[in-house]
A and B are shown apart, each in its own frame.
Chain A
């Protein structure tokens, strides 16, 4: 998947996660800024899940700014997928 533009998905509501996607130069790698209210308990799990999802979309270079309010794994996957698809301009949403 080729990222073309900045995009975001999700919200600051409880049990949701807000994810901002920013395209970066090729070779820059995955730059992930993760904040979570359950960092201590699930921080590692969250990172593992996000990397796995990025693998699925074949994305090696990206900046992600993630603010998690205790989202369950399906919500994390859904918000990331939404943000990435918006960034790739496969679909539209907020912050085109």
Chain B
């Protein structure tokens, strides 16, 4: 079958089951309820004053009685310093467990070491919002027998609610935890900030192990994760590389091209009609997207505008803006640097939120719905504004859906910033390799070679032109780019579908084909 974006979707896939085609950003949502049944969270019981403490992670895992075919989940709040996923999978593999479904909120290059377990049948399926590095290359080449699923941050919560992801065992790292499993990422030697993505795992997993390098006296405050969901607690020497977990501040890029694009994007935002008293705001964590914040900060000061809240993945730059009084509050589902952890701990207007409150489409309203302005990146964007943030120019998985489609669908003004081409690779083009976010959610594209407004937004175009900002037809820009780079040959793939890209509502917006060697 074809979905509404003309992508060919199989009716059914072995290892996943029947697929539903994407029919538009709000086609399911506008009904007002979710058709799929919600599965109940597990019921548990525990005698008073019995201990949850296990000496080693291996002991804790053994107590959960691991079995073949189980689903194991992790969060990715340890960022580039994560070593826990590897440690845990290695223990399971050493125990001879096979056919594991790995349901991590995201996989990064820090997880490259688990690649051997993709190859030997230990892990046979992956659910994640993003996959990168060696893993992303291997799965695009078809290393896993079952198709992987890319979901959004909000979509992951929905999948757990519906039982599409049935977590047997959640292994959750914390930078501080007590003997009962109350845990947080806000303090401790390996502090990493918000545990927003881990909340749903703690509520729904059949068994939950909290792993920390820092046991604190009971009770652990704040309780990002609460004891009533936790089966076992393990103290380990290390949950990973603290310099990469709790390291540094996120700096605004110095790359002239990113800064130029960010400057243009800030002009667009300034004249969009959305930059007004009380506006809410989200930017990405790097490159041009984060740099937009630098220029918005300047404009807010010049025009004495105060915003309401910053949402999403939070950098120290957002914290600076909160401390300067430019925003009233931060709602933090994921912290990107060390300075954020201390703000989360100390500032009552810097609030940790779970992924469902952040972005799950199927509840009484997630916070992305209250966004006024979001600035997002893109690996590719097509002339219908459909965005690829998951597959790179060689067809490998090297990115993350993350909150891209969640925020894009919710925000009043969704700005995509990217260069029009990178090296010789066109970014703005007729057709993207994989669609993650539908063009209907994107309002304006800002590149160094032109600003393109989605034709569905004529009033935005009028605002910009009234301010003297030149607007270009996206098809004209794509042609210009092709004139500079030449026409790129499309990526060669086989017929085999190795992965699917789920839209936030659970429908399939695109599939990923096996890359030809």
Contacts and interface: CB of A to CB of B under 8 A. Distances in A.
A–B contact (CB under 8 angstroms)? yes
B425 interface: yes
Given A38-B393, A40-B394, A72-B484, A15 B489 contact: no
Given A72-B484, A72-B485, A73-B486, A40 B492 contact: yes
B40 interface: no
B472 interface: no
Contact of A69 (B423, B486, B487, B491): B423
Contacts of A43: 489
B492 A72 contact: no
Nearest to B516: A40
Contacts of B486: 42, 45, 73
Q: Is the interface of B mostly helix, strand, loop or mixed?
A: loop
A14 B489 contact: no
A44 B489 CA distance: 9
Contacts of B423: 14-15, 37-38, 69-70
Contacts of B393: 38, 40-41
11 contacts: A14-B423, A15-B423, A37-B423, A42-B485, A42-B488, A42-B489, A43-B489, A69-B423, A70-B425, A72-B424, A72-B484
Interface residues of B, number: 13
Given A72-B485, A73-B486, A42 B424 contact: yes
Interface in A52-96: 69-73
Contacts, number: 37
A71 B491 CA distance: 19
Given A15-B424, A72-B484, 9 more contacts: A37-B423, A38-B423, A41-B393, A42-B424, A43-B489, A44-B489, A69-B423, A70-B424, A73-B486
Interface of B: 393-394, 423-425, 484-489, 491-492
Interface of A: 14-15, 37-38, 40-45, 69-73
Contacts of A42: 424, 485-486, 488-489
Nearest to A73: B486
A70 B426 CA distance: 11
B425 A41 contact: yes
Contacts of A72: 424, 484-485
Contacts of A44: 489
B491 A40 contact: yes
Contacts of A40: 393-394, 489, 491-492
A69 B423 CA distance: 8
A38 B485 CA distance: 11
A14 B421 CA distance: 13
A41 B489 contact: yes
A38 B484 contact: no
B486 to A, nearest CB: 5
Contacts of B492: 40
A71 B394 contact: no
Contacts of A15: 423-424
Contacts of B488: 38, 41-42
B487 to A, nearest CB: 8
A47 to B, nearest CB: 12
Contacts of A45: 486-487
Contacts of A70: 423-425
A37 B394 CA distance: 10
